[in-house]
């Protein structure tokens, strides 16, 4: 039996010390990061000449120019790899380790009355990342967490804080372990989450307990509670309730004109980082475009003899939008692409125009609310407002074979191809 020199109370488990009485620790191995994807800054915050890669370590020379890092891998190796640059510099760390429930969390859930099944089959890396089974039971769990807490201690600054999320399975063991690693006096407080009696909670609870899994389940079952943390299942449940709540609480209101006219010509000057098209009929000095489809459509509008004037709406820069009910039940803002004024023998027609390459689930809802806006505004103002969605394949086919000098020709092309949404 080895002699272990213990000078203060501590938690002991088999394997914590070797046969010579030395503390067994796994400090990981520092490895270089491999860049998988670089996410650029948004145009609203980007400054010329300041772009860098997601894992650019130019930040070493500029403390104010650090980039966020989303790192995928074994957290023991990640912590060890961050040590070189961030040792003693991190002010806040939050970890959500396994709860030592003994579950591996493979499950199938039936969502809603339609009977749609959600099944999550773990990949090889997810088995390591998400499983909560331990070969030597609590011994393995404590050794795993101990190694990581030691590295976290090395990363934290002098005034740094660690938030450690656990439940009642091992929180008492981990508190003793954290006292050993960080010092008992470093403990600040314990935050306990308590269920509320909000009006919605009983309905969600009843749905999950009696309908979500195709039968009645026991909500206090540890494995089930952990499984409910699966993001796909949570998103499905939240989406279904959000849609139903939105349908019950959001009401369509007719558009009412108030105040003075909104003039695009009074839009404040703004910087644009993407494509631009030069045009004679546009309200602005150039046409700001997001992609090649918008660029081509702006050129088409500028060349149409029956288009008097047009402008790209440039999302929040011109501030023109309509509200719509999303699939999640929330109210969102829809920014269409262009506004144009067509001259006809019967007077002017004001068009709200949307170019569309790929269509997403919420496109239909946007179409409905934009078309309804045009109908209400036409009724209120006495002007003719219409909405047109231009699908990329139809537009490209029209440009190749149609009369691309007149906007009216595009409308007639739609009648033949049925590829556009018009109100």
Q: Half-sphere exposure of residue 283, counting CA atoms within 13 Å on the CB side?
A: 18
Q: What is the CA radius of gyration of the chain?
A: 30
Burial grade of 134 (CB within 10 A; 0-12, 13-18, 19 or more): middle
Q: By C-alpha distance, which of 265, 289, 291 is closest to 276?
A: 289
Show Cβ contacts of residue 169 under 8 Å, excluding neighbours closer than 6 positions: 99, 100, 101, 222
For 367-402, what is the HEC assignment? HHHHHHHHHHHHHHHCCEEEEEEEEHHHHHHHHHHC
pLDDT confidence of residue 61: 42
Other residues' Cβ atoms within 10 Å of the Cβ of residue 10: 13
Encoded tokens for 6: 């213990």
Tens-digit pLDDT string for the chain (423 aa): 556 667 777 888 888 888 887 888 888 888 888 888 776 555 444 444 444 443 444 444 455 556 678 888 888 999 999 998 999 999 999 998 887 766 554 555 555 555 556 555 555 555 555 555 565 678 888 888 999 999 999 999 999 999 999 888 888 999 999 999 998 889 999 888 766 556 767 777 787 788 777 778 887 777 777 777 666 777 777 777 777 777 776 677 777 777 677 788 888 888 888 889 999 999 888 999 989 999 999 999 999 999 999 999 987 788 888 888 777 777 788 899 999 999 999 999 999 999 988 777 678 888 888 999 999 999 988 999 999 999 898 898 888 887 778 999 998 887 666 544 444
Q: Which two tokens stand for residue 318?
A: 């011109």
pTM value is 0.49
Neighbours of 293 (CB within 10 A): 18
Q: How many CA atoms lie within 13 A of 295 on its CB side?
A: 7
Q: Give every CB contact of residue 294 below 8 A, 6+ residues apart in sequence.
A: 275, 312, 337, 338, 355
Residue with tokens 């039968």: 215
Nearest Cα neighbor of 132 from 217, 220, 229 is 229
Opening angle at CA 120, ends 119 and 122, nearest 5: 150
Nearest to 358 by CA among 332, 330, 389: 389
User: Would you give the distance in Å from CA 237 to the centre of its chain?
Assistant: 17
Asked if 133 and 104 count as a contact pair (C-beta separation under 8 A), the reply is yes
| CA 291 – CA 314 distance, rounded (Å) | 12
| Overall size of the chain counted in residues | 423
Residue 163 near residue 96, CB atoms below 8 Å = no
In angstroms, the CA 127 to CA 230 distance is 13
Contact 180, 10 (CB under 8 A): yes
For residue 86, how many other CB atoms are within 10 A of its CB?
15
Least Cα distance to 56 among 85, 19, 83 occurs for 85
Long-range contacts of 417-422 (CB under 8 A, 24+ apart): 419/391, 419/393, 419/394, 420/388, 420/389, 420/390, 420/391, 420/394, 421/367, 421/371, 421/387, 421/388, 421/389, 422/386, 422/387, 422/388, 422/389
Distance (Å, rounded) from C-alpha 387 to C-alpha 334? 13
Q: What are the structural domains of the chain? A: 86-246 (no CATH), 264-422 (3.40.1350)
């Amino acid at each position: 039996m080895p002699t272990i020199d213990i000078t203060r109370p501590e938690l002991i488990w088999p394997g914590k010390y070797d046969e010579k009485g030395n503390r067994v620790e796994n400090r990981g191995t520092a490895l270089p990061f491999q860049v998988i994807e670089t996410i650029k800054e948004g145009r609203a915050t980007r400054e010329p000449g300041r772009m860098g890669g997601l894992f650019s370590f130019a930040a070493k020379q500029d403390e104010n120019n650090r980039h966020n890092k989303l790192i995928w891998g074994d957290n023991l190796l990640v912590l060890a790899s961050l040590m070189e640059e961030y040792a003693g510099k991190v002010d806040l760390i939050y970890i959500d380790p396994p709860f030592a429930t003994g579950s591996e969390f493979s499950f199938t859930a039936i969502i809603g009355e339609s009977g749609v099944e959600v099944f999550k089959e773990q990949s090889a890396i997810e088995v390591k990342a998400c499983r909560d089974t331990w070969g030597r039971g609590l011994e393995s769990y404590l050794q795993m967490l101990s190694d990581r807490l030691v590295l976290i201690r090395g990363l934290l600054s002098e005034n740094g804080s660690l938030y450690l999320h656990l439940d009642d399975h091992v929180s008492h063991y981990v508190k003793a372990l954290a006292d050993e690693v960080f010092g008992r006096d470093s403990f600040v407080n314990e935050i306990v989450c308590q269920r509320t009696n909000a009006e919605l909670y009983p309905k969600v609870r009843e749905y999950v307990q009696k309908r979500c899994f195709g039968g009645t389940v026991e909500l206090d079952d540890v494995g089930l509670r952990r499984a409910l943390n699966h993001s796909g299942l949570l998103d499905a449940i939240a989406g279904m309730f959000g849609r139903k709540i939105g349908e019950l609480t959001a009401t369509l209101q007719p558009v009412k004109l108030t105040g003075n006219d909104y003039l695009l010509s009074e839009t404040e000057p703004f910087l644009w980082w993407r494509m631009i098209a030069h045009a004679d009929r546009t309200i602005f000095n150039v046409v700001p475009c997001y992609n090649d489809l918008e660029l081509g459509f702006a050129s088409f509008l500028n060349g149409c003899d029956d288009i008097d004037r047009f402008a790209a709406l440039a999302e929040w820069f011109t501030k023109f939008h309509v509200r719509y009910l999303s699939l999640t039940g929330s109210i969102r803002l829809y920014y269409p692409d262009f506004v144009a004024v067509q001259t006809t023998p019967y007077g002017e027609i004001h068009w709200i125009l949307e170019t569309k390459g790929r269509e997403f689930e919420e496109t239909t809802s946007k179409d409905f609310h934009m078309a309804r806006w045009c109908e209400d505004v036409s009724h209120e103002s006495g002007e003719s407002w219409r909405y047109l969605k231009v699908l990329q394949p139809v537009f490209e086919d029209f440009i190749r074979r149609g009369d691309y000098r007149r906007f009216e020709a595009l409308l007639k092309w739609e009648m033949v191809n049925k590829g556009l949404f018009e109100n």
